[in-house]
């Protein structure tokens, strides 16, 4: 890192993958705006980092386009620019048969995983193309579900497939502004939400079986690797997963 700290925004930064990525960036000398719906987990993560003024908690609902614009404006006002967006915030829906999924649950997943991610990309472009030096990097959190679904996951899987489309399109559209756009697809990271997998999760053939997890901090290091690349290079798709989780092969 240079003496001047680079500036990152991490959404969904209070817990799980977002927190791990924020801590990895802060530990490497980055300045990070931690965004998320609940303020206290953001403050706790910032305090845990020991990064002092390099960690800024900004409560943000990414499904609200005005809140996302305010997030970026606050970061630019405070730090002058945005070098990195880790577009991580996301939710799932109850694992029920698709015909039983309430429309409200479907819309909630779309509002956060798809619309919210678009609002963040749009604002990152707005800021990054106008700043000097121009450009920056966006890393979208896809998921192995961006490639292969689990049973009873239509809302999550559909939005994560859409994330792949946004990554490819934004990568293309960002070239003229020196904006590099890539995606990290994570499988079975050891977050609080994923702990249930050790007790059993439905497989493609209908049986329930436990699945292995990996340390979530491995994902944080993967994001840090992508973030620290020079803008002339881009990891468009990076898959990091528990080695023995069921993904490749016939489910």
Catalytic residue ranges: 156
Question: Within 50-130, where are the H helices?
Answer: 65-79, 103-109, 117-128
Residue 161 CB neighbour total at 10 angstroms? 16
Reported for 106-111, long-range contacts at CB under 8 A and 24+ positions apart, including other chains, are 106/155, 109/155, 109/156, 109/159, 110/155, 110/159, 111/63
- What 3-state DSSP class applies to 122? helix
Sheet holding 31-36, edge to edge: 55-59, 31-36, 7-11, 84-87, 136-141, 179-187, 237-241
Sign of CA dihedral 234, 4, 87, 186: positive
The structure tokens 């490639």 sit at: 147
């Amino acid at each position: 890192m240079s003496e001047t700290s680079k500036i990152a925004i991490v959404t969904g930064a209070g817990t799980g993958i977002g927190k791990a990525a924020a801590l990895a960036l802060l530990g490497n000398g980055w300045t990070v705006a931690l965004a998320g719906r609940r303020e206290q987990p953001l403050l706790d993560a910032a305090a845990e980092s020991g990064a002092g003024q390099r960690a800024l908690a900004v409560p943000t609902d990414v499904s609200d386009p005005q809140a996302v614009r305010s997030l970026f404006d606050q970061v630019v006002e405070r730090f002058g620019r945005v070098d990195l967006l880790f577009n991580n915030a996301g939710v799932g829906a109850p694992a029920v048969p698709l015909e039983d999924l309430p429309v409200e649950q479907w819309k909630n997943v779309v509002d956060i995983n798809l619309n919210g991610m678009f609002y963040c990309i749009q604002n990152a472009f707005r800021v990054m193309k106008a700043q000097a030096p121009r450009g920056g990097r966006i890393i979208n959190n896809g998921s192995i579900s961006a490639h292969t679904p689990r049973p009873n996951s239509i809302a999550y899987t559909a939005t994560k497939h859409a994330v792949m489309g946004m990554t490819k399109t934004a990568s293309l559209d960002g070239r003229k502004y020196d904006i590099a756009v890539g995606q990290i697809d994570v499988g079975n990271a050891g977050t609080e939400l994923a702990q249930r997998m050790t007790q059993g999760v439905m497989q493609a053939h209908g049986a329930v079986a436990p699945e292995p997890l990996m340390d979530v901090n491995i994902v944080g290091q993967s994001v840090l690797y992508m973030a620290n690349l020079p803008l002339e290079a881009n990891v468009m798709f990076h898959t990091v997963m528990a080695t023995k989780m069921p993904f490749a092969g016939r489910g």
